[in-house]
């Protein structure tokens, strides 16, 4: 029997509605492609403190940004599909939620403490990304193009069994998760373009910014950009038991884009992962030490450090470092970065590589790389050459290889 604890927040004619029983809020979709985001926001408002949010095995139509942060002790069960509208691109360009870095923004801010978000292996975020890939025409960092999900100021939380398909831009970004662990397990990402002339650029699987103690376990990523990337002020990151297809591999960076700012990445461990036709395995990228243009598609002049990182048990592509990142047509200044890279290990690399280059290490003359270790490798070269090569610039000390 329904009582006052049952709240119908909208009719089926105008959008979805929420049924609340005690501290469980079940979101019912409109079923007619009418915006369900108001009902979703209401569900988090009603049950976002010690409650449960239930999504049925149906499709929810999302036309507006959502900000559901400050949650505590919440279970979120996604058994259906959240499908983002991309028909009104101008709305998203004008209203997506800014994150305060690189002109980036998001379609959904979700955050709090002690969250458990389950997708059961089939709960799906569908960003309608092809419309975005066609619209951007390969332009990087278009202002207002949103991330699919931003996990904001979140601690001691778990996200598991979720699918992200055709994300608008980055699938997941984690911001300001500083105190306790966030675990992301059994996550599937596929963001690829069906038009070779309109590539799916900036479709990172996940990025961390100003976050610590993050674990990515059993991910599968198909995309055209970074598989997983650690950006500004990230530390204690674990990536394991995952497989990555066709993108750029695991990226540490880029950092050093903002002049005069100190940024760091420390203690990144990648182990027991496979890279299938990715351009690289694990690569490190910093901006030059001289500002050329302005963020998001220019910059440089920042400083900092990159240290104590290990990539192991990985297949298919070589190791790379570049301290010469520039956009907007800028060139040169590749020996100017003062961002120190040290104590980086690539170990247990095995698989086949195109050409002969095992490592391309282009460090900065202003702060040569130190303690680079490439050990215990077993490569098969696709060329007739039997010996792999190591290309180095401004590398001060090595182990396991010679430049």
Contact of 142 with 184, CB cutoff 8 Å: no
Q: Is 171 helix (H, G, I), strand (E, B) or coil?
A: coil
DSSP letter at 29 equals P
In 234-355, the DSSP E strands lie at 234-240, 243-245, 249-255, 262-271, 274-276, 282-287, 303-312, 319-325, 340-347, 350-353
Nearest to 306 by CA among 332, 345, 336: 345
DSSP state of 111: E
Task: Tell whether omega for the bond before 172 is within 30 degrees of 0, i.e. cis.
Answer: no
Find tokens 């192991």 and name the residue. 312
Report the DSSP beta bridge partners of residue 67: 109
Question: Residue 360: phi, psi to the nearest 5?
Answer: -125, 105
Using DSSP's 3-state secondary structure scheme, residue 321 falls into: strand
Nearest of 299, 288, 216, 200 to residue 251 by alpha carbon = 216
Q: Is 225 a catalytic residue?
A: yes
| Pairwise CA distance, residues 33 & 14, whole Å | 10
For 87-224, where are the alpha helices, taking DSSP H only? 89-95, 129-136
State both tokens at 84: 């983002």
Element at 144 (helix H, strand E): none
Residues 225, 226, 236, 241: which is the catalytic one?
225
Distance CA 81, CA 60 (A): 6
For the annotated catalytic residues, the residue numbers are 225
């Amino acid at each position: 029997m329904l009582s006052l604890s049952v709240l119908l927040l909208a009719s089926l004619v105008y959008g979805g509605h929420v049924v609340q029983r005690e501290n469980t809020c079940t979101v019912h979709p409109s079923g007619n492609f009418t915006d369900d985001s108001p009902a979703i926001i209401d569900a988090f408002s009603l049950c976002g403190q010690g409650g449960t949010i239930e999504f049925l095995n149906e499709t929810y139509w999302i036309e507006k940004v959502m900000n559901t942060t400050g949650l505590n002790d919440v279970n979120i069960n996604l058994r259906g599909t959240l499908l983002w509208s991309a028909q009104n691109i101008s709305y998203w360009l004008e209203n997506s939620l800014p994150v305060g870095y690189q002109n980036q923004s998001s379609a959904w801010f979700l955050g709090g403490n002690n969250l458990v978000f389950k997708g059961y292996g089939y709960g799906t975020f569908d960003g309608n990304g092809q419309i975005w890939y066609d619209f951007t025409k390969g332009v990087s960092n278009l202002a207002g193009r949103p991330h699919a999900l931003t996990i904001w100021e979140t601690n001691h939380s778990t996200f598991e069994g979720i699918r992200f398909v055709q994300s608008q831009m980055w699938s997941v970004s984690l911001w300001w998760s500083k105190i306790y662990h966030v675990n992301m397990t059994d996550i599937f990402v596929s963001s690829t373009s069906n038009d070779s002339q309109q590539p799916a650029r900036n479709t990172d699987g996940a990025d961390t910014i100003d976050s610590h103690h993050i674990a990515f376990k059993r991910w599968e990523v198909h995309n055209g950009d970074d598989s997983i990337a650690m950006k500004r002020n990230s530390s204690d990151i674990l990536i394991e038991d995952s497989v990555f297809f066709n993108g750029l591999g695991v990226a540490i960076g880029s950092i050093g884009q903002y002049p005069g700012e100190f940024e760091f990445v420390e203690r990144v461990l990648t182990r027991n992962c496979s890279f299938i036709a990715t351009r690289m395995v694990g690569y490190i990228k910093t901006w030059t030490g001289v500002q050329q243009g302005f963020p998001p598609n220019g910059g440089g002049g920042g400083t900092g450090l990159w240290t104590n990182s290990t990539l192991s048990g990985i297949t298919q592509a070589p190791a790379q470092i570049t301290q010469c990142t520039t956009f907007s047509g800028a060139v040169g200044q590749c020996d100017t970065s003062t961002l120190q890279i040290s104590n980086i290990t690539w170990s247990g690399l095995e698989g086949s590589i195109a050409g002969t280059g095992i490592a391309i290490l282009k460090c900065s003359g202003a702060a040569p790389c130190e303690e680079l270790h490439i050990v215990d490798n077993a490569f098969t070269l696709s060329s007739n050459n039997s010996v792999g090569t190591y290309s180095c610039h401004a590398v001060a000390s090595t182990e396991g290889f010679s430049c």
